[in-house]
Amino acid sequence: MKLSSHKLALCKMKMLKLLRTSAGQTGIIQFNGVRKLSSIPAPSPKVCIVGGGPAGFYTAQHLLKARPDVQVDIYERLPVPFGLVRFGVAPDHPEVKNVINTFTQTAQHTRCSFHGNVSVGKDVSVEELQRAYHAVVLSYGADGNRRMGVPGEDLAGVYSAKDFVGWYNGLPRNKELKPDLSCDTAVILGQGNVALDVARILLSPLEILKKTDITELALATLAESRVRRVLIMGRRGPLQVACTIKELREMVNLPGTRPEMVHADFNGIAEALKALPRPRKRLTELLVKAAMEVPGEQEQERRRLASRSWAFRFLRSPLEVLPSADLTRAAGLRLAVNRLEGSGDGAWAVTTGEVEDVACGLVISSIGYKSLPIDPSVPFDPSKAIIPNTMGRVQQAAGLYCSGWVKRGPTGVIATTMNDSFDTARTLLQDLESGALDLLTAKTGSQEVAALLEERGVKPVFFSDWEKIDSEEVRRGEARGKPRDKLQDVEEMLLVARTQGPTTL
Ligand code: FAD
Ligand code: NAP
């Protein structure tokens, strides 16, 4: 007898209900392709998550809390967890990193395990993970960066903010970046929070940075830095800056620096304030105040003594990075002068035909990160650079889910990523409940993957191994009066992870 797909789904749901009501007593066995009720325990859902950043940990947290039988394994490419919380969040924002405590609790949950040093798509394919687990959640973030697409972009002295941030935060891949900070003026393209992080790190007094977990290598380079002026360049106007007020306030109050804006850029802005929504209004008020207001005596004195300056510049788009006379490195930027069409957040920049050159020896492009495809078997939308999905369900790929930046694009703070990951977890749970995910077949999970990895000579780093790396970093940091001194070399991380007992490297 042939059952219609609708009847089959109903049948599955009834069987699952039966399983749930008598969990532990009734299960399904498969024999010669025939499924029968048996007295063995029902298979517990095995879910694997790709990426040990905020999206991965928050998805895991929600799944573990919502279902007492789910087993979650997190696979992370690096030997160390936490993604951009470790390698993105600025070193002088230690309070943001407190989320690591919650992630640690999740990783230490009895039904969760962390497998670092496993690069999905290289060491194990997504299809292999799908064979081993009932569901796979892709939370691997945004590993690429948007390029400016202008001549001279690859000259020495031009860096992506992504690499620069990775460098000062100890990302192994960026250890050798060696940014050249021997010039007076730096231009940062983009006016988002990453641009402000970079500007702050370039201009902060060393006494502040020394107490953070910034790498020693970055500290030494910044100590030699000759950068005195940082221009933060936007293609649109003051009403469209992408940073937030807290980060702007930090710039305004940054010791040893003064703002140097162009007054004419703010013509008409004060009049526009009234009509703005509240967060944008407060942000713009602060911007106008920093640019236009004559400060009180004390602030005037502070600004007079400042040896470094920063400024926002508006309505400029990069056309070309200009080379030095010997053509070896960046010496300036050619910018298109824009005007705005439309209004508010949705206004767009249109070139006027006018061009402006700015002399600068350092260009940092901070126009956004970008997700990349992980594996040919996973759908990917190249125009939006995300995995196409509906509420976290990967389109046309049953059993595959996504969360975080790879799901919605590279914007949003950790709290946004948390909500988004909880949404994906809810979607997955619904599919478990409805029978849309096949729970009838027991899956072997990490056992099967471990065998594949062993065959391929890949040795995972477990959470307890990471704890050894963590202790070693904290120990090294203590000696230097900082919260930690990060290991920056994968080989060294692996060595510490595999050391028995207390580390004395
Ligand atoms: P990620 O954090 O990037 O995590 C993805 C993880 O997947 C990484 O650990 C990566 O190694 C791993 N991975 C990648 N490829 C693979 C693979 N093939 N196999 C296995 N694992 C893989 N938000 C705030 O609230 N406050 C801040 O101060 C703040 N500062 C920021 C500073 C910077 C420079 C940036 C870029 C972002 C900042 N954010 C901040 C935003 C916040 O970091 C993001 O919202 C969040 O990290 C996105 O989480 P995610 O898990 O999607 O991506
Ligand atoms: P972002 O906030 O999206 O800012 C990107 C900037 O680049 C914008 O100013 C944008 O201008 C500009 N830009 C984009 N394409 C451009 C182009 N082709 N030419 C010129 N300019 C271009 O991205 P982000 O700064 O990378 O930050 C990513 C996310 O992480 C954000 O949500 C941010 O809030 C978060 N984050 C938070 C913190 C924090 O909370 N402290 C710190 C860092 C990052 P347009 O507006 O004109 O597109």
**Secondary structure element (H or E) that encloses residue 38, with its range:** strand 34-38
Domain of 268, CATH number, reads 3.50.50.60
With a CB cutoff of 8 Å and minimum separation 6, the contacts of 78 are 52, 116, 117, 172, 490, 493
Same domain, 166 and 120: no
Interval 379-396 mean pLDDT: 97
DSSP-based three-state secondary structure for 447: helix
What CA–CA distance (Å, rounded) separates 421 from 52? 13
Look at residue 361 and tell me if it is in a domain.
yes
Look at residue 484 and tell me if it is in a domain.
no
Q: Which residue has the tokens 């800056």?
A: 241
- What integer pLDDT is reported at residue 492 of this predicted model? 97
Nearest CA to ligand 1 atom 46: 414
Q: Give the number of whichever ligand sits closest to the CA of residue 237.
A: 2
Q: How far is the CA of 193 from the centre of ligand 2 (A)?
A: 6
Interval 208-223 mean pLDDT: 97
Mutate to test the pocket of ligand 2, among 85, 143, 191 (most ligand atoms within 8 A of CB): 191
Interval 462-478 mean pLDDT: 97
Full residue range of the structural domain in which residue 28 is found: 5-37
What CA–CA distance (Å, rounded) separates 181 from 184? 8
**What pLDDT, in 10s, does the model give residues 366-376?**
999 999 999 99
What CA–CA distance (Å, rounded) separates 446 from 62? 20
β-pair type (330-341, 316-323): antiparallel
Q: How far is the CA of 191 from the centre of ligand 2 (A)?
A: 6
Look at residue 207 and tell me if it is in a domain.
yes
Q: How far is the CA of 368 from the centre of ligand 1 (A)?
A: 13
**What pLDDT, in 10s, does the model give residues 261-271?**
999 999 999 88
Nearest CA to ligand 1 atom 8: 83
DSSP-based three-state secondary structure for 319: strand
Over the chain, what is the mean pLDDT?
A: 92
Interval 197-210 mean pLDDT: 98
Find out whether the beta carbon of 191 lies less than 6 Å from any atom of ligand 2: yes
> Which of 323, 347, 370 lies at the terminal end of a domain, its last residue?
370
Same domain, 19 and 139: no
Q: What is the gyration radius of the CA atoms in the chain, in angstroms?
A: 26
One-character DSSP codes across 349-392: EEEEEEEEEEE-SEEEE-S-EE-----TTS--BTTTTB--EETT
Same domain, 20 and 165: no
**What pLDDT, in 10s, does the model give residues 235-267?**
999 999 999 999 999 999 999 999 999 999 999
Is it the case that residue 10 has pLDDT exceeding 50? no
Find out whether the beta carbon of 193 lies less than 6 Å from any atom of ligand 2: yes
Same domain, 24 and 93: no
Interval 474-490 mean pLDDT: 97
Interval 446-465 mean pLDDT: 97
Interval 406-431 mean pLDDT: 98
Contacts 24+ apart (CB under 8 A), 446-449: 446/48, 446/73, 446/113, 446/115, 446/132, 447/132, 448/128, 448/131, 448/132, 449/48, 449/73, 449/75, 449/115, 449/124, 449/128, 449/129, 449/132
3 secondary structure, DSSP code: P
Closest listed residue to residue 236, CA positions, set 133, 139, 342, 332: 342
Percentage helix, strand, coil, to 5, in the chain?
Answer: 40, 20, 40
Output the CA torsion sign for 73, 74, 80, 82.
negative
Same domain, 165 and 308: yes
Q: How far is the CA of 158 from the centre of ligand 2 (A)?
A: 18
**What pLDDT, in 10s, does the model give residues 116-162?**
999 999 999 999 999 999 999 999 999 999 999 999 999 999 999 99
- What integer pLDDT is reported at residue 19 of this predicted model? 43
With a CB cutoff of 8 Å and minimum separation 6, the contacts of 75 are 48, 49, 50, 51, 52, 115, 118, 120, 124, 129, 449
Is it the case that residue 7 has pLDDT exceeding 90? no
Q: How far is the CA of 450 from the centre of ligand 2 (A)?
A: 39
Find out whether the beta carbon of 51 lies less than 6 Å from any atom of ligand 1: yes
- What integer pLDDT is reported at residue 26 of this predicted model? 40
- What integer pLDDT is reported at residue 499 of this predicted model? 87
Same domain, 343 and 408: no
Same domain, 352 and 421: no
Find out whether the beta carbon of 410 lies less than 6 Å from any atom of ligand 1: no
With a CB cutoff of 8 Å and minimum separation 6, the contacts of 256 are 203, 205, 306, 307, 308
- In percent, how much of the chain has pLDDT > 70? 90
**What pLDDT, in 10s, does the model give residues 319-365?**
999 999 999 999 999 999 999 999 899 999 999 999 999 999 999 99
What CA–CA distance (Å, rounded) separates 489 from 170? 9
What CA–CA distance (Å, rounded) separates 135 from 485? 37
Q: How far is the CA of 369 from the centre of ligand 2 (A)?
A: 8
Look at residue 492 and tell me if it is in a domain.
no
Find out whether the beta carbon of 54 lies less than 6 Å from any atom of ligand 2: no
Look at residue 488 and tell me if it is in a domain.
no
Find out whether the beta carbon of 55 lies less than 6 Å from any atom of ligand 1: yes
Find out whether the beta carbon of 412 lies less than 6 Å from any atom of ligand 2: yes
Find out whether the beta carbon of 392 lies less than 6 Å from any atom of ligand 2: no
- What integer pLDDT is reported at residue 410 of this predicted model? 98
Is it the case that residue 3 has pLDDT exceeding 90? no
DSSP-based three-state secondary structure for 437: coil
Q: Which residue has the tokens 């990917």?
A: 380
Q: Give the number of whichever ligand sits closest to the CA of residue 248.
A: 2
495 secondary structure, DSSP code: H
Q: Measured from the CA of 142, which atom of ligand 1 is nearest? A: 3
Look at residue 75 and tell me if it is in a domain.
yes
Look at residue 472 and tell me if it is in a domain.
no
Same domain, 63 and 18: no
Nearest CA to ligand 1 atom 12: 51
What CA–CA distance (Å, rounded) separates 254 from 246? 12
Same domain, 354 and 393: no
Find out whether the beta carbon of 404 lies less than 6 Å from any atom of ligand 2: no
Interval 398-402 mean pLDDT: 97
Find out whether the beta carbon of 243 lies less than 6 Å from any atom of ligand 1: no
With a CB cutoff of 8 Å and minimum separation 6, the contacts of 81 are 52, 57, 74, 103, 107, 114, 116, 463, 466
Q: Measured from the CA of 368, which atom of ligand 2 is nearest? A: 26
Domain of 77, CATH number, reads 3.40.50.720
Same domain, 187 and 124: no
Q: Which residue has the tokens 């400029």?
A: 316
β-pair type (330-341, 71-75): unpaired
Mutate to test the pocket of ligand 1, among 84, 117, 249 (most ligand atoms within 8 A of CB): 84
Find the length of the chain: 505
Same domain, 297 and 328: yes
Mutate to test the pocket of ligand 2, among 363, 413, 417 (most ligand atoms within 8 A of CB): 413
Q: Measured from the CA of 191, which atom of ligand 2 is nearest? A: 9
With a CB cutoff of 8 Å and minimum separation 6, the contacts of 481 are 210, 211
Find out whether the beta carbon of 43 lies less than 6 Å from any atom of ligand 2: no
Same domain, 335 and 391: no
- In percent, how much of the chain has pLDDT > 90? 88
- What integer pLDDT is reported at residue 501 of this predicted model? 62
Look at residue 420 and tell me if it is in a domain.
yes
What is the model's pTM?
0.93
**What pLDDT, in 10s, does the model give residues 32-68?**
444 444 455 667 999 999 999 999 999 999 999 999 9
Find out whether the beta carbon of 388 lies less than 6 Å from any atom of ligand 1: no
β-pair type (135-138, 400-402): parallel
Q: Give the number of whichever ligand sits closest to the CA of residue 121.
A: 1
The domain total for the chain is 3
Find out whether the beta carbon of 50 lies less than 6 Å from any atom of ligand 1: yes
